[in-house]
Amino acid sequence: MPAALALSAAFLFAAALITTQFGLRHMDALAGAKVSVPSATLLFWLVLLLRGADLGGWQPQAAGIFLALGLLFPAAVTLLAYEANRRMGPTIAGAIGSTAPLFAVLGAVVFLGERLGVTQVASTVAIVAGSIVLVWRNGATLRGVGLISWVSWAAAALRALAQVVVKAGLLLWPNPYAATLLCYSVSTAVIWTVGALSRRPESRVYHRRGVIWFGLTGLFNGTAVLTLYSALETGAVSVVSPIAATYPLFTLVLNSGILRQERLSARLIAGVLLMVSGVVALVYF
């Protein structure tokens, strides 16, 4: 079921956020990206070579779409998201990033001809609102809303665009594995090119524990993207994208159980209720 796959992707994205927090204790964001993205790419190529993953039905036009998409996702989105966190902090950046489903749904209507009902619109708004409530922290200010906030808005828009573009490619060649493999291969080249051109000395500093944590981050993110693309193979963007955006809910659970950074509050209860009600409406109505 697309909805179940989208929820699985949300959980994996949340797990990646947790391992990223551990990795950032030892290495900077760009160095971490130079480990995480290639780790997933290596895994996909090993599975292809050793287990013979299915790349049948090769469709050149779709392959071109996936390769071009790799210039933006996950490479550019990863770098923009890291920069947004550096400039504005995780609260503002996370709140803006949570609006990605709105861009994705709009793109699906305009470019893919998907039709929206009142339930889908209300559910999407509820999930986005719940996500923002969950990531917002007490004492947060609007310091990130200004000219520098374009970084986070760009990341959200590109993340949404990636889902619309990959859906278009999957309509031509319904092969989520090929889509993920090609996107990640190009993104690996982009990340390492940016790293080579970077003048920041810390981007070339590697720590054994940091490499391990960012390696796990890459595996979680890569599997999440593959699962998300599998959901988009048969599911509508307007359904899959909002459900996949529930990852803050899983991050909350993991933070509470592993990092113990969250306590139950009215804000958390409200955010959870909004997101759960939105998902239930999308799946059952």
Q: CB-side exposure of 108: number of CA atoms within 13 Å?
A: 25
- Tell me the pLDDT tens digit for each residue of 76-135: 888 887 777 666 665 566 667 778 899 999 999 999 999 988 988 999 999 988 888 876
Tokens representing 106? Answer: 């709009």
Q: CB-side exposure of 119: number of CA atoms within 13 Å?
A: 9
Predicted local distance difference test score (pLDDT) of residue 163:
95
DSSP symbol at 203? G
Predicted local distance difference test score (pLDDT) of residue 85:
67
Question: How high does pLDDT run on average in the chain?
Answer: 86
More confident residue, 152 or 156: 156
pLDDT at 68 over 90: yes
DSSP symbol at 56? -
Can you give the residue range of the structural domain that contains 170? 2-284
Task: Measure CA 170 to chain center.
Answer: 18
Q: How many domains does one find in the chain?
A: 1
Residues 6+ away with beta carbon under 8 Å from 117: none
With bands split at pLDDT 50, 70 and 90, how would you rate the model's confidence at 144? very low
- For the entire predicted model, the pTM comes to 0.89
Task: Measure CA 282 to chain center.
Answer: 20
Predicted local distance difference test score (pLDDT) of residue 222:
96
Tokens representing 43? Answer: 């895994």
Q: Any idea which residue has 């990223």 for tokens?
A: 20
* Phi, then psi, of 168 in degrees rounded to 5: -60, -40
DSSP secondary structure, 230-265, as one string: HHHHHS-HHHHHHHHTTHHHHHHHHIIIII------
What is the Cα–Cα distance from 207 to 205, expressed in whole angstroms? 7
DSSP secondary structure, 82-99, as one string: HHHHHHHHHHHHHHHHTT
Q: Are 194 and 79 in contact (CB under 8 A)?
A: yes
Share of the chain above pLDDT 90, in %: 51
- Tell me the pLDDT tens digit for each residue of 254-272: 877 666 655 667 777 888 8
Q: Let me know how long the chain is.
A: 285
With bands split at pLDDT 50, 70 and 90, how would you rate the model's confidence at 147? low
